[in-house]
Amino acid sequence: MEDVQSLHGASADATPFADAPPVFELINVSHCFGDLIALRNINLRIGPGERVALVGPSGAGKSTLLNLLNGSLRPSAGVVRALGFDLAQLSPRALRQVQRQIGVVYQQFHLVDNLRVIHNVNAGALGRWSFLKAAWSLIWPQEVERAAQALAQVGILEKLYARTDQLSGGQQQRVALARVLVQDPVAILADEPISNLDPERGREIMDLLFRLSEKMRKTLVVSLHTIEYAYTHCHRIIGLREGGVLFDAPPAEVTPDMVRTLYRIAKE
């Protein structure tokens, strides 16, 4: 594995993303679940290669926002653009094509436990494969070299043929990252990718996400329950609270006071 020591404590460079056409854009977006307003009037632009942390207490709307960005939810109001497309205007087929360009990493890993690692990694390539190739690959794995390369990048090449449910949580999240690498998307969305990991494993996964998105120039939007890694690993921190954006600023401008307000328990 490459050395990741240099990451620790180094804050991300501030890079001017404002001028590039956005990878994601939300215009006056609100989302309701029945009577509950999960997001209210959000306006955001996220540029190519930008690494953005979504932070805020449980229920703030982080997952809802990520689901809107990848088109798995349609907003109740407003416009969500991804890769230049207004997602609500796309046919189901065109939407799937855009979604292929957006890799997603989840808190619960979302792997098929009883399959070998190679099949879970190759799931990232299914969007490009014919049905026959995908079916055949379950018996005779295809593109082994590519899967092996992705696993090597996340540091667990030796697990290529291991059963997925025999890996630790940290290793399973690495498999999920390898699956995204094989998918080779423009952007990566990660929804609390370290919430189920112990602190040391969590740091390793954040280091990997940071390093891979930087090296491969991928846009990264990662939701985090706590703010610690947002400071060290992202260009920009968006504080969400009760469905609204409380702040949206580079780490250097996010003060302890702002963080306290973000997590303050709501008054009766």
Ligand X SMILES: Nc1ncnc2c1ncn2[C@@H]1O[C@H](COP(=O)(O)OP(=O)(O)O)[C@@H](O)[C@H]1O
In the bound state with ligand X, the residue whose beta carbon lies nearer, of 63 and 99, is 63
- Asked if 38 is part of the footprint of ligand X (rule: CB under 6 A), the reply reads yes
Question: What minimum distance in Å lies between the beta carbon of 227 and ligand X?
Answer: 13
In the bound state with ligand X, the residue whose beta carbon lies nearer, of 141 and 244, is 244
From candidates 22, 47, 49, 61, binder to ligand X by CB under 6 A: 61
- Asked if 59 is part of the footprint of ligand X (rule: CB under 6 A), the reply reads yes
* Helix H or strand E encompassing 68: helix 62-69
- Asked if 64 is part of the footprint of ligand X (rule: CB under 6 A), the reply reads yes
| Token duo for residue 208 | 């990997």
Q: Is residue 16 exposed (0-12), middle (13-18) or buried (19+ Cβ within 10 Å)?
A: exposed
| Contacts of 157 by beta carbon, 8 Å cutoff, 6+ apart | 148, 151
In the sheet that 219-224 helps form, which strands lie side by side, from edge to edge? 102-106, 187-191, 219-224, 51-55, 236-241, 244-249
Question: What minimum distance in Å lies between the beta carbon of 128 and Mg ion?
Answer: 29
Stretch that binds ligand X, among 51-59, 99-107, 139-147, 197-205 (CB under 6 A): 51-59
- Asked if 36 is part of the footprint of ligand X (rule: CB under 6 A), the reply reads yes
Question: What minimum distance in Å lies between the beta carbon of 75 and Mg ion?
Answer: 17
In the bound state with ligand X, the residue whose beta carbon lies nearer, of 156 and 222, is 222
Residues 8-67 that bind Mg ion (CB under 5 A): 62-63
In the bound state with Mg ion, the residue whose beta carbon lies nearer, of 26 and 190, is 190
Output the CA torsion sign for 14, 19, 21, 22: positive
Asked if residue 156 lies in contact with residue 179, where contact means CB atoms within 8 angstroms, the answer is: no
Backbone angles phi, psi at 32, to 5 degrees: -120, 145
Q: Summarize as ranges the residues that interact with Mg ion (CB under 5 A).
A: 62-63
Residues that bind ligand X (CB under 6 A): 33, 36, 38, 56, 58-64
